[in-house]
Amino acid sequence: MKNKTTAGLLALFLGGMGIHKFYLNQTTAGILYLLFSWTCIPAIMAFIDCIILFTMPDHEFNKKYNSTTTPQNTQPIQDNTQTLLEYKNLLDQNVISQDEFNYIKEKILNQ
């Protein structure tokens, strides 16, 4: 799990070489930072990245960089359950067909 403070500190102190990009699994950007580190442009960009990382809300950082391990992933599951129940009610009322319900169910579950 990535840590926002660690990413910000890496951007501040080693960002000119793109170390924070490697930490955040943005390998292509990290390589570009490393290749152009002699121009000092990556250092300026890293300073901006540092400010962005430190001011970014925790939930936004987690959504962007820790999306598979955040507790917030439970909310869409609850929303999906509620949506499926609503479509099930429509099926029970014969508003939609079984095929339509199955299609919608597959679409929701494969998000």
Per-residue pLDDT tens over the stretch 49-90: 999 999 999 989 998 998 764 454 455 666 788 888 888 899
Please give the Cα distance from 28 to 73 (Å, whole number): 27
Q: Kindly report the average pLDDT of the chain as a whole number.
A: 88
DSSP 8-state assignment for residue 111? -
Please give the Cα distance from 13 to 80 (Å, whole number): 43
Q: pTM of the predicted model, to two decimals?
A: 0.61
